[in-house]
Structure 1
Amino acid sequence: MAEVLTTVKTDGKEPPIKKKSRIEEVMKKWGIPIALAVFLILFFMPTPEGMTPVAQRSIAVFTGALILWITTPIPIYLTSIAAILMLPLIGAVKDQDVAFESLGFGVIWLMVSAFVLTSAMMKSNLGRRFALWMVTKFGKTPKTTLLVLIIINFILAFFVPSTTARATLMVPICMILLEVYKAIPGESNFGKVMMLQGVQADAIATSGVMTATAGNIIAVGFINEQAGGHIGYMDWLLASMPTAIVTMLITFLIGFKLFSTKGEANFENAMGTLKDELKKLGSFSVDEKKASIIFIITVILWATGDYQKGWFGFEISTEQTAVIAALLCLLPRIGMLTWKEANIKWELMIFAAGAYSVGNALDKSKGAEWIIKNVVSGLGLEQMNHAMVYVVVIFLSMYSHLIFTSKTVRVTILIPAFIALAKSLGMDPVALGLAAAMTMTYTITLPPHSKVNTIYFGTGYFSVLDQVKYSIVTCFVGASVISLALFTWFKVLGL
């Protein structure tokens, strides 16, 4: 267990690389031949009735890229580069700017800034200090301790735009609590509940904050570009955070029904150890003070975005605010980071740019509309009540992580498809796209479904079966709450 603690305490380190399964190895081996074959078939076959040649070419590029993104025989960013290059070369877009301009989208800059802010939080130790202070201040009983850990996850979602970084902050604190308490991995129900709720709180809190993960940002880009929406930071927060809080509270109580913690209740020694850990951090460092000021400014600007025009005569957008925050973190003397320390994942930037390029090409060429119309006709969805379609889509989106383990790939595949579906059925594409996007972070069913799962699972406190039975219930609760919110809370908000 000490080895696990050492592993998860190392800031910025990735969890151990998981050995690929036999199915994954086969997919990787045959990904390129299958993608190439499908691309050629779609490209050279006679153009179906009702489809334009441009739409056919964009579908061919999108489908080939989709296969490569799923099977990953080459890194996903290389697939995106190839797709961006192919779109204008084969005439899938009429203007090459449609393909190349995606790297300049505001959401791409928002992602860059998110990585900078995460690095600032990790380097300054501000996140660790805050988490330790919250637990030692308010965690007086087992249940309140667990509740405080959940609240910390929700608060950190505003300041640390990385699910993995938040898990890296939280797991060592959980381990200290459980080690001092002498909780036995695999046997202690309190250990199971703490770690499993850590997994779920990380995911559910992420669904409530637009900037808490790159997938949310990519989804907003699709909703605003393809559905004609105007979703900003506060729109997402007001729509999603209440559903996240309600879902988390319900599943918090369910956890104690699934894993009884009676008889596991002495935390005095654990609290003493955590207080010692907090003391080791010393007084607030200069970097922590700088990070605090920058994060407070950022949150205030995001929270007041809808009122700035009336107050000052101009508005600072969500993306502009994020870039300002990143700039402050990187400025000499003012900030606390160098460019090398910013740890910007450029491969994800390129992947997102390619995803936007092929997605927008598919949308503008009407290729997506043609596909969805035929899918709707084939499944008989046009005969379904619109309310039922909303619910079906939300539940499909929620459980889609059982097939697609990457949040970003799921967002890229499903959100444009759901938007096109809504358009074809005469439904509101913004509301459907937003509701579906709110489910995308619930990657909580199995350890391989996210790095966060892997980090928590590596502690040994819960089994795969423990995670499955808790998460299946949580996903059902989450989808139900989001469905209910779509018909009630969304209307109150004007969505």
Structure 2
Amino acid sequence: MTQILAATEKDGKEPPLQKKSKVEDLMKKWGIPLAAVVGLLLFFMPTPAGLTIEAQKAIAIFTASLILWITTPIPIYLTSIMAILLLPLTGAVKDQEIAFGTLGFDVIWLMVAAFILTSAMMKSNLGRRFALWMVTSFGQTPKRTLLVLIIINFVLAFFVPSTTARATLMVPICLILLEVYKAMPGKSNLGKVMMLQGVQADAIATSGVMTATSGNIIAVGFINEQAGGHIGYMDWLLASMPTAIITMVLTFFIGLKLFSFKGESNFQDAMGMLKDELKKLGSFSLNEKKALVIFVCTVILWATGDYQKDWFGFAISTEQTAVLAALFCLLPRIGVLTWKEANIKWELMIFAAGAYAVGNALDKSKGAEWIIKNVVSFLGLEHMNHVLVYVVVVFLSMYSHLIFTSKTVRVTILIPAFIALAKSLGMDPVPLALAAAMTMTYTITLPPHSKVNTIYFGTGYFSVLDQVKYAIVTCFIGASVISLSIFTWFKILGL
């Protein structure tokens, strides 16, 4: 980021500041009172039937925190600190480890490693070289650059079976590209749309490939065992990939409308400048070669994660691989940077710790499960027309990530529930469960909803509100496309 600032100061220009809208001003002004009122009402209201007092308190703290994270009247890490303190103080959790232990979660270590890898890529100039080559070869304009990044995400989904690993690979590339375009964090719409589309391309591409995340594989296991299906790799690919591509194409253009960057900078002469910058890098330096070896080995370990157990008798997890790569980046003589040169955003670590703390409290207390059961009952799914049931289930499954922050938890709770629902209504459970499973990767609305979100959010290019605005539209489009495919594409495939 210091390189971006230096480049800006050198040119004497900055991207135009974006004025806050009246809605954002009102949200900041009333965020604290709204959070306090809603939180207290939920906390002190009579405990509903089937809900424990601990779950009620967890829901109150979660809701109040959610309001503060969206309206941002105070820094998001302060909200997390308050939530971590309130959970044990109010009795929402009996075990303090649930609240205070989250800073030791594997995702926090993964984020630390991601920042170290990003710093190594920046210092060695390897990321800059790759980004300049990629843009000059395929992305002659910012829009084409955005499209190239999305295509890369979709290609990686076939070879790297980890959403987080792919994000850790893509974020450094995006940062270098934005440095070239002099896009300032928090000010640049190009930066916003690039990072947000990175979040969404990662999630949507994952929905198209069965092996792109363990959640998809678990869902297929439920469908084949409990619903009597015979869904395999190609069945999933043919059913889901077309919906993923259509959704991504539609949301790509919507993102360009939501975060227009037309007047932000002059890109007309950028290509010549970018080619000159690539020439200035000359031949590969020793640090670039070191960084390249570290990154190639990291990608190989990530890509072969599902096969290492059979090959070697043990497996190195995504988190272990990332920390190992960070270690090599920092080792004297072997690595490419020192600890002081690693740009680690500790305020983001605190924010993530608080987000996972309230999410865990909601899960452990069964508060999330209670909410889902009551939503299903309230909607009266058991009395609806079968066509409407399909649509409601898809939308309910799509937006369930607002409550459950884990794809695996959502899959294990919802897919068996939807299979049982279909059987009770005399419906074929396979297409219903498959359609619901295709939505499980759309964890894109808030930073704590997935590790990928927190990694991209840590760049500082978009706010919580930016992510919410774009994600609500994307999730609606995704659910609509999947719903339509049930009655059209699924029938063609014989599902």
Q: TM-score, normalised by structure 2?
A: 0.64
Are the equivalent residues in 2 in contact too, given 1:98–1:357 (CA < 8 A)? Answer: yes
**1:301 shift after superposition:** 0.7
Deviation of 1:55 after TM superposition, in Å, equals 1.6
Contact 2:290–2:335, Cα closer than 8 Å, also in 1? yes
Alpha-carbon deviation of 1:252? 11
State the Cα distance separating 1:284 from its structure 2 match.
0.8
Tell me the equivalent position of 1:440: 444
* Root mean square deviation of aligned Cα: 5.5
Whole-Å separation in 2 of the counterparts to 1:472 and 1:365: 27
State the distance in 2 between where 1:145 and 1:24 align.
30
Q: What residue in structure 2 maps to residue 189 of structure 1? A: none
Alpha-carbon distance in 2 for matches of 1:429, 1:8: 54
Q: Secondary structure at the match of 1:92?
A: coil
Mapping of residues 139-288 of structure 1, within 5 Å: 151=151, 161=168, 166-171=173-178, 202-207=198-203, 246-247=245-246, 274-288=274-288
Query: Which residue of the partner structure matches residue 105 of structure 2?
Result: 105
C-alpha distance in 1, partners of 2:25/2:155? Answer: 39
Q: Deviations along 1:135-171, whole A, 9 cap, x unmatched?
A: 5556799999997566567689967638775444335
Calculate the TM-score normalised by the size of structure 1: 0.64
Structure 1's 100 and 381: CA in aligned 2 closer, same or farther, altered over 3 A? farther
CA drift at 1:317: 0.8
Q: Is the 8 A contact 1:110 1:322 kept in 2?
A: yes
Residue 454 to residue 77, structure 1, CA distance change in 2 (3 Å): closer
Alpha-carbon distance in structure 1 between the residues aligned to 2:108 and 2:7: 34
Counterpart CA distance in 1 for 2:270 and 2:15 is 26
How many angstroms apart in 1 are the aligned matches of 2:25 and 2:143? Answer: 43
- Any idea what SS the aligned residue of 1:440 has? coil
CA contact (8 A) 1:80 1:354 kept: yes
Superposition deviation, residue 96 in structure 1: 1.2
1:36-81 CA distances to partner (integer Å, 9 max, x unpaired)?
Answer: 2333222222222222222222222222222222222221111111
Query: How has the CA–CA distance of structure 1 residues 209 and 133 changed in structure 2, closer, same or farther, with 3 Å as cutoff?
Result: same
How many residue pairs get aligned? The number is 412
Residue of structure 2 in register with 1:231 after alignment: none
Specify whether residues 473 and 62 from structure 1 end up closer, same or farther in structure 2 by C-alpha distance, changes over 3 A only.
Answer: closer
Q: How far off its partner does 1:92 sit?
A: 1.0
Q: How many Å separate the matches in 2 of 1:376 and 1:104?
A: 35
CA contact (8 A) 1:39 1:63 kept: yes
SS in 1 for 2:168: coil
Q: 1: distance between equivalents of 2:446 and 2:42?
A: 34
| Cα contact 2:411–2:437 (8 A) shared by 1 | yes
> Residues 390, 97 of structure 1: CA spacing in aligned structure 2 closer, same or farther, 3 A cutoff?
same
- Name the CA distance, whole Å, in 2 between partners of 1:82 and 1:252: 35
Distance 1:76 1:381 in 2: 37
Shift of 1:298: 0.7
AA aligned to 1:77 is Y
- Give distance in 1, aligned partners of 2:473 and 2:85: 44
Q: Percent identity?
A: 58
Q: Secondary structure at the match of 1:435?
A: coil
How big is the shift at 1:441?
A: 7.4
2:128–2:173: 8 Å Cα contact kept in structure 1?
A: no
Q: Residues of 2 paired with 1:9 and 1:154: CA distance?
A: 37
Aligned equivalent of 1:446: none
Determine the structure 2 residue equivalent to 1:78: 78
Match of 2:394 in 1: 391
2:133 aligned with 1:133: yes
Deviations, residues 256-276 of structure 1 (Å, cap 9, x unaligned): xx9xxxxxxxxxx98665433
Deviates more, 1:139-148 or 1:372-381: 139-148
Q: Is 2:115 aligned against 1:115?
A: yes
The verdict on how the C-alpha distance between 1:310 and 1:55 changes in structure 2, with shifts beyond 3 A counting, is same
- Contact 1:373-1:421 within 8 A present in 2 as well: no
* Stretch moving more, 41-50 or 298-307: 41-50
Change (3 A) 1:105 1:451: closer
Kindly tell me: are residues 37 and 420 of structure 1, through their superposed partners in 2, closer, same or farther at Cα, counting changes over 3 Å?
A: farther
Q: Give yes or no for the alignment of 1:320 onto 2:320.
A: yes
Alignment of 1:402-413 (within 5 A): none
Residue in 2 that maps onto 1:344? 344
Cα distance in structure 1, aligned partners of 2:349 and 2:485? 32
Partners of 1:5 and 1:411 in 2: how far apart?
41
AA aligned to 1:28 is: K
Structure 2 distance, partners of 1:336, 1:168, is 18
Change (3 A) 1:86 1:300: same
What per-residue deviation string (whole Å, max 9, x for no partner) do you get for residues 167-198 of structure 1?
443356679xxxxxxxxxxxxxxxx9x99996
Other structure's SS at 1:46 match: coil
Aligned to 2:297: 297
Does the Cα contact within 8 Å between 2:435 and 2:482 map onto a contact in 1? no
Structure 2 CA distance for partners of 1:166 and 1:480, relative to 1, 3 Å: farther
